[in-house]
Structure 1
């Protein structure tokens, strides 16, 4: 591909030109430039509503782009070092699902870490693929899962040489990355595609101090949440493809199943501008992100009882590299759970962090952050460590579950007849639903898996901490639907 001018924003430019023409709309959307939804328009602004338009010749169509969307996608592919890029308006979830559906047919095996996002489980249900789980490495001091090792991937491939694909996370929610380049080499040597959930790595290609991206490592596909760390609007993402193992036509066909035919031009235009900003100004902007997080991490580590972990983890099991924009803080030595600190921060300091677990909180630092915001977080943590500290630190227990027993494929379990039973009575049953704390949205149990005593105890612990649980038909997770097969052993 010849050089493409990254200063261009073909879709956003076309959208602005269309807006300038003040066309009289007799098409959808029905609010007609905001006039039909006055209260909302008065609050968000008329320009936003006037840019909320439908597909038309001058603005191209996401289902079969041949104009400005196609040109914008080509610029994105060039910026990220892929052969093709597809705009996503159903989030990275739709990209993960399309990746798995493009690599696997019903009954095919796919190797993936147990800490994969719920979108991967949805991809298994939609594709009919059979999961072969790899246990990620666990840092017992922090109580969180890291990446997977090359050795564990090799060993799993040796036991399942007929698998069609290897699925990776790059980086994990807390910033750890696996040795993705060597894993790609191992997978390709065994004729397996490599699919990468890069939801939290949209920025990593644009500054040398961040971990290697999936495309740089030679992966076949990656789904990238430009909205999480790249600056675009919520729900907008990219699906990247390296041609070879996976047919681009198959990807396009699967995306047409996953995505709306009425794609938001606000979302797509924001991807176009975010790509330009990363490609043109990324190194400078991301250096500021690094400066902010390095300073905040250093200051937090001077607070007695708190530990803001970072690049010192590189070289430990499951941590080949580390994304410093993920500001994880271990709080257990001040006698508080991460859930408690999460609540205190929002309730008393008006600070919203990304997530909490039993031992940690996680703050995401990105392009829109400034020193004032990081100062407020550090000062709040100083205050919390003084005001709320308890004498007895939180005891580290095994907060991450072992690989489950997959009894029935996720797809078969999803479509099977089910019955609802009290969750605490479900030991030995085969789950018909997923249960997860959200965020991060990593299933604790998925359809088709045996519900163990450990799983029940883990969920009950999360409920005690008032963690937000999702996935069950019962919104309070008091009941779970299990396969009505007399499955209990």
Structure 2
């Protein structure tokens, strides 16, 4: 595919159309009702007149996200070119809706999809909506770090052999912690067996624009990819791209997207996608070179403190850890006797530093387009001080391995079944009818249709005790759980 020249990428069609709209001083008798901010002084003061004046509805000169024919269509074509895919859809319901659109574009009710169990909740939500059946692959765990790994090619081969009727293979690449699978080989295997490859690339925007990065989904030949432009690419929260890279009809995929995506696409989100794409095409190489340098520097300094382990490419085994994304600053904390979530809380409460996540054994700091060296120095010195002031004996730390789920019912059957709420400690051996997860990262500990075991309940109570933010259950206190009623 012939790459457009830099000159065409210096354009941002949606942004340009909004600038023209603002100049025209149009009198609004349409929605939104705040009428360019005049309806709410406090909101206008808080977000600024410039922002509210372009928080507008679809109209002819500004095109329409659900059926784009002009400026949004042009922005999509530029985005497709930037990512090297056949088409790119602007998404304003987050990458979650892009993940759901991918699954629903290739799987109907009762059809199988092969996926690792450490998927984001949005992928299992797609199964609840569509009725597709998951075939889980155990992603394996690094026992020392307690983190899920990528998908081993042998495990994928086995799953394909045992489920030749599966429609697709779903891969999250990279994982939250920066672990990459052998995407090219998995894609080759899937295509040889007539299956689509769908990639949750929420944390991989930079793979398309930086140099010496792990392979992107499009470069590997995957059929669709969901890319969180807002996570590491600089657009506004909730804005994302869905990349289409196969023979599925653009119009059909758009119909699937429109089943769940709003008909009132936010122009703030869309213009931010447009401008972020422009910036990354024009300056991505130098931006992500700097991101890598900052991250590598921090990794080295944190490892010098002692007690912490900021892991990197040394984990690569050319299989379940095929590659590693060095922009991810993941740090193992258990050697200083603290759970990741405890370090996360200390950083925020004592040092005014907000990192992305803390789990049972690790913390993760996201380094991206907006980071500066000075802030990194502050993170490093704070971690050093936490070790000095708070480190403790690591006895009694929970040694967590991947818990292989026993799937009794499909997520859809379980979620819509007759349910009973029971106290967690009385739920052993029952079938779960909802989610339980720590957020972030939003990977379910339990998903609808899975058997509840003592091992899972122990893990949940340890996560609660250490201060993980648990979500997913109807009971907001996570003391009770919905189970499938015995028939």
1:26 maps onto 2:25 in alignment: no
> CA offset at residue 232 of structure 1?
0.2
Query: What CA distance in whole angstroms lies between the structure 2 residues aligned with 1:471 and 1:79?
Result: 36
1:408-430 deviation per Cα after TM superposition (whole angstroms, max 9, x unaligned) = 11111121111101111111111
1:149 to 145, 149, 152: 152
- State the partner residue of 2:469: 468
1:131 to 128, 134, 143: 134
5+ long unaligned stretches in structure 1: none
- State the partner residue of 2:305: 303
- State the partner residue of 1:282: 284
8 Å CA contact retained: 1:92, 1:236: yes
- State the partner residue of 1:415: 416
1:236 maps onto 2:265 in alignment: no
Query: What CA distance in whole angstroms lies between the structure 1 residues aligned with 2:152 and 2:249?
Result: 28
SS of the aligned residue for 2:215 comes to coil
8 Å CA contact retained: 1:194, 1:219: yes
Which 4+ runs in 1 deviate beyond 4 A? Answer: none
Decide whether aligned partners of structure 1 residues 471 and 145 sit closer, same or farther in structure 2, where only a CA change above 3 A counts.
Answer: same
Query: What CA distance in whole angstroms lies between the structure 2 residues aligned with 1:443 and 1:3?
Result: 40
8 Å CA contact retained: 1:423, 1:478: yes
1:64-75 alignment, distance < 5 Å: 64-75=67-78
Query: What CA distance in whole angstroms lies between the structure 1 residues aligned with 2:288 and 2:197?
Result: 27
1:77 maps onto 2:77 in alignment: no
Query: What CA distance in whole angstroms lies between the structure 2 residues aligned with 1:240 and 1:211?
Result: 18
8 Å CA contact retained: 1:359, 1:394: no
1:215 maps onto 2:218 in alignment: yes
SS of the aligned residue for 1:301 comes to helix
8 Å CA contact retained: 1:332, 1:394: no
Query: What CA distance in whole angstroms lies between the structure 1 residues aligned with 2:136 and 2:425?
Result: 25
Q: Which range moved further: 125-134 or 306-315?
A: 306-315
Query: What CA distance in whole angstroms lies between the structure 1 residues aligned with 2:438 and 2:458?
Result: 14
- State the partner residue of 2:480: 479
SS of the aligned residue for 2:392 comes to coil
- State the partner residue of 2:394: 392
Decide whether aligned partners of structure 1 residues 28 and 405 sit closer, same or farther in structure 2, where only a CA change above 3 A counts.
Answer: same
1:49-198 alignment, distance < 5 Å: 49-198=52-201
Query: What CA distance in whole angstroms lies between the structure 2 residues aligned with 1:443 and 1:391?
Result: 29
8 Å CA contact retained: 2:211, 2:289: no
1:167-195 deviation per Cα after TM superposition (whole angstroms, max 9, x unaligned) = 00010000000000000000000000000
Query: What CA distance in whole angstroms lies between the structure 2 residues aligned with 1:3 and 1:96?
Result: 26
- State the partner residue of 1:254: 256
TM-score (norm 1): 0.97
> CA offset at residue 386 of structure 1?
1.0
Query: What CA distance in whole angstroms lies between the structure 2 residues aligned with 1:367 and 1:214?
Result: 21
8 Å CA contact retained: 2:153, 2:319: no
Query: What CA distance in whole angstroms lies between the structure 2 residues aligned with 1:2 and 1:332?
Result: 49
8 Å CA contact retained: 2:342, 2:467: no
SS of the aligned residue for 1:203 comes to helix
Query: What CA distance in whole angstroms lies between the structure 2 residues aligned with 1:141 and 1:2?
Result: 46
| Corresponding residue pairs, total | 484
5+ long unaligned stretches in structure 2: none
- State the partner residue of 1:446: 447
> CA offset at residue 13 of structure 1?
0.8
SS of the aligned residue for 1:291 comes to helix
Query: What CA distance in whole angstroms lies between the structure 2 residues aligned with 1:46 and 1:311?
Result: 47
Decide whether aligned partners of structure 1 residues 317 and 336 sit closer, same or farther in structure 2, where only a CA change above 3 A counts.
Answer: farther
> CA offset at residue 316 of structure 1?
6.1
1:304-383 alignment, distance < 5 Å: 304-315=306-317, 317-383=319-385
- State the partner residue of 1:459: 460
SS of the aligned residue for 1:86 comes to strand
> CA offset at residue 392 of structure 1?
3.4
> CA offset at residue 203 of structure 1?
1.3
8 Å CA contact retained: 1:412, 1:448: yes
- State the partner residue of 1:12: 15
8 Å CA contact retained: 2:398, 2:462: no
> CA offset at residue 6 of structure 1?
1.3
1:132-170 deviation per Cα after TM superposition (whole angstroms, max 9, x unaligned) = 000002101111001011111001111111100000001
TM-score (norm 2): 0.98
Query: What CA distance in whole angstroms lies between the structure 1 residues aligned with 2:416 and 2:336?
Result: 46
Q: Which range moved further: 55-64 or 451-460?
A: 451-460
> CA offset at residue 448 of structure 1?
1.1
Decide whether aligned partners of structure 1 residues 485 and 249 sit closer, same or farther in structure 2, where only a CA change above 3 A counts.
Answer: farther
SS of the aligned residue for 1:195 comes to strand
RMSD (CA atoms): 1.1
> CA offset at residue 120 of structure 1?
0.3
